[in-house]
Amino acid sequence: MIINRFERQVILPGFGQEGQAKLKQSSVLVIGAGGLGCPVLLYLAAAGVGRIAVVDGDVISQSNLNRQVLYGEKDLGKNKADTAIRYFQEKYSDIQWTAIPEYITVDNAQAHIFHYDLVIDGSDNFPTRYLVNDACVLLKKPLVYGSIYQHEGQVSVFNVGSHPCNYRDVFPNPPAPQEIPNCAETGVLGVLPGIIGNLMALEAIKVLSGLGKPLSNKLLLFNSLDTQFQELEIQPNPASQSAIPTSWNEFHQRDYALGVEGVQQLTWNEAMKLMGQEVAFVDVREPGEEPPLVCTGLVKVPFSTLSNELDRFEEAEEILFFCQSGARSQKAAQLLQQTYPDKKIFSIRGGINALKS
Amino acid sequence: MPDRIRLKAFGMLAEKIGADSLEIENPGSSETLRRLLLEQFPALQPLTFRMAVDRKLIQAETDISAGQEIALLPPFSGG
């Protein structure tokens, strides 16, 4: 018998050379190389999936390092997809690696997802989760879903089996932006996404190799505080099918960004045209969020302290808010509009992420 | 058996309710339960959540019988 790096899994009853060959012939697209994506990648790579691509437009910041275990101090400010791929290329030359250092959007989703056998959703926001779900439904691609909130996680496998479910069968529509905690304010112990990410890698290996029973038509819930797992049965929901675009044309036209009611949004280009003397240009990100934006006249008011500093905006006639993804800046705009109903207040769509891609 | 049910709340719902597990009198149906919950815990009103009866996610109003376990499930987006 030839001894190779997969020997210990090849001798497993039920997996064997056959399971290994299936993994080797498989390709996986990992969306998001963050808290979930890092452990997913570590174990899919070690297991010998033949072709792995990583999509992430984000850069590494210091506050990522408690859970995004592929990165270290020297990686701050670098793109996550590029950095993750470099790390793996040195370790496993038998895998075909692709870095896609951009965010997944309605324009690129079809082209990226089409080329892979299975998609892993390790993203960190609802717009991306719904976008990825809908694209995978349109392409009938197996999708391994995992997400976390504080000490809890959810895992499922979509678009697999004879009566497959997808994310919209569980939650037909995204919650309102007001319901969602700010991305910079939700705490997490690194080990939680580690556990959920490992469960996601396990589900991917099961779907690809045919081993065991994947979590299709099931939603697994985990609570790290009392170490409890619970499984819920889910089934296709005809009512939620109507929320999914029926064609690529419809998909391309869909605006997945969560809009806060009454808040006017501008693109960066539109915002640039407004810049001037009487316009306050405000970064509401917390200190340490990467990359910093350097420009004259920029005011930094972290969202966490904004409500105590409303009087700083008394003089401005127009106010332009931005943050990392465009969610907090909408809440900021809403808050300021309530205080100053007569001022023109805008939020920049997509935030810094939109500027990078 | 007294006509009671067990609620299990997940994520932000447990924070708003103040407990992740709760025994209450059986309201008889999922919609009555939802209405009672929103009345008793107004902080739940703006929140999206789904319910599971005895570990099955429900898609329409469902009768609840004594001793059943109802899970209250919010969407998570973190990663």
- DSSP type of residue B78: B
Which of A17-31, A317-331, B54-68 is least confident? A317-331
pLDDT digits (tens, 9 = 90+) for B18-37: 999 999 999 999 999 999 99
List, in sequence order, every beta strand (DSSP E) within chain A: 27-31, 51-55, 96-100, 118-121, 143-149, 152-158, 218-223, 228-233, 264-266, 279-283, 298-300, 318-322, 344-348
The residue in chain B having the minimum alpha-carbon distance to the alpha carbon of residue A195 is B79
B71 with A125: Cβ contact below 8 A: no
Q: Residue B40: inside a domain, yes or no?
A: yes
The residue in chain A having the minimum alpha-carbon distance to the alpha carbon of residue B43 is A179
Domain count for chain B = 1
A149 with B78: Cβ contact below 8 A: yes
Percentage of residues in chain A with pLDDT exceeding 70? 97
Q: Residue B17: inside a domain, yes or no?
A: yes
Query: Nearest 5°: phi and psi at A22?
Result: -65, -40
Q: Residue B29: inside a domain, yes or no?
A: yes
Instruction: Provide mean pLDDT across the span A245-255.
Output: 94
Q: Which residues of A touch B79 (CB under 8 A)?
A: 32, 34-37, 121-124, 146-148, 193
Q: Residue B14: inside a domain, yes or no?
A: yes
Q: Which residues of A touch B71 (CB under 8 A)?
A: 221, 230, 232
Chain CA centroid to CA A202, Å: 19
Q: Is the pLDDT of residue A357 over 70?
A: no
Q: Which residues of A touch B16 (CB under 8 A)?
A: none
- Nearest CA to CA, how far is B53 from chain A (Å)? 9
Domains and CATH numbers, chain A: 2-253 (3.40.50.720), 264-354 (3.40.250.10)
User: How would DSSP label each residue in A40-67?
Assistant: HHHHHHHHT-SEEEEE---B--GGGTTT
Which of A74-78, A294-298, B7-11 is least confident? A294-298
Cβ–Cβ under 8 Å, residues A56 and A81: yes
CB neighbours of residue A200 within 10 Å? 31
Structure tokens at B47: 């929140």
Q: Residue B23: inside a domain, yes or no?
A: yes
Q: Is the pLDDT of residue A277 over 80?
A: no
Q: Is the pLDDT of residue A1 over 70?
A: no
Residue A302 identity: P
Query: Nearest 5°: phi and psi at A18?
Result: -65, -50
Instruction: Please report which confidence band the pLDDT of residue A94 belongs to, taking 50, 70 and 90 as the band edges.
Output: very high
Q: Residue B68: inside a domain, yes or no?
A: no
Residue-level pLDDT at A276: 77
Give the distance between the most distant pair of CA atoms in chain A: 78
Burial (CB < 10 A; 0-12, 13-18, 19+), residue B10, is buried
> What gap in Å lies between CA A212 and CA A14, rounded to an integer?
8
Please, what is the end-to-end C-alpha distance for chain B in angstroms? 43
Per this entry, what is the length of chain A? 357
Which of A148, A235, A237 lies at the smallest CB-CB distance from B76?
A: A148
- DSSP type of residue B37: H
Structure tokens at A137: 């439904």
Burial (CB < 10 A; 0-12, 13-18, 19+), residue A75, is buried
Residue-level pLDDT at A38: 98
pLDDT digits (tens, 9 = 90+) for B54-74: 999 999 999 999 999 999 999
Structure tokens at A123: 């993203």
Q: Is the pLDDT of residue B1 over 80?
A: no
A186 with B47: Cβ contact below 8 A: no
- A238 compared with A163, residue with greater pLDDT: A163
Number of H helices, E strands in chain B: 2, 5
- DSSP type of residue A259: P
CA Rg value for chain B: 12
Instruction: Please report which confidence band the pLDDT of residue A290 belongs to, taking 50, 70 and 90 as the band edges.
Output: confident
Residue-level pLDDT at A176: 84
- Nearest CA to CA, how far is A220 from chain B (Å)? 10
Instruction: Please report which confidence band the pLDDT of residue A204 belongs to, taking 50, 70 and 90 as the band edges.
Output: very high
Instruction: Provide mean pLDDT across the span A138-148.
Output: 98
Q: Is the pLDDT of residue B2 over 90?
A: no
Q: Is the pLDDT of residue A82 over 60?
A: yes
Chain B, 47 to 66: residues with Cβ < 8 Å from chain A are: 47-48, 50, 52, 55-57, 59
Q: Residue B77: inside a domain, yes or no?
A: no
Residue A74 identity: K
Which of A147, A175, A233 lies at the smallest CB-CB distance from B79?
A: A147
Domain span at residue B43?
Answer: 4-60
- DSSP type of residue A183: T
From residue A136, alpha-carbon distances to A106, A164, A246, B67, B77 in Å are 12, 12, 12, 39, 18
Instruction: Provide mean pLDDT across the span A276-302.
Output: 88
> What gap in Å lies between CA A350 and CA A269, rounded to an integer?
12
Q: Is the pLDDT of residue A255 over 90?
A: no
> What gap in Å lies between CA A343 and CA A313, rounded to an integer?
10
Contacts of the segment B28-37: beta carbons below 8 A, 24+ positions apart: B28/B63, B28/B64, B29/B61, B29/B62, B29/B63, B29/B64, B30/B58, B30/B61, B30/B62, B30/B63, B30/B64, B30/B70, B31/B61, B33/B64, B33/B70, B37/B72
Q: Residue B71: inside a domain, yes or no?
A: no
Residue-level pLDDT at B54: 98
From residue A72, alpha-carbon distances to A31, A63, A84, A350 in Å are 20, 11, 11, 27
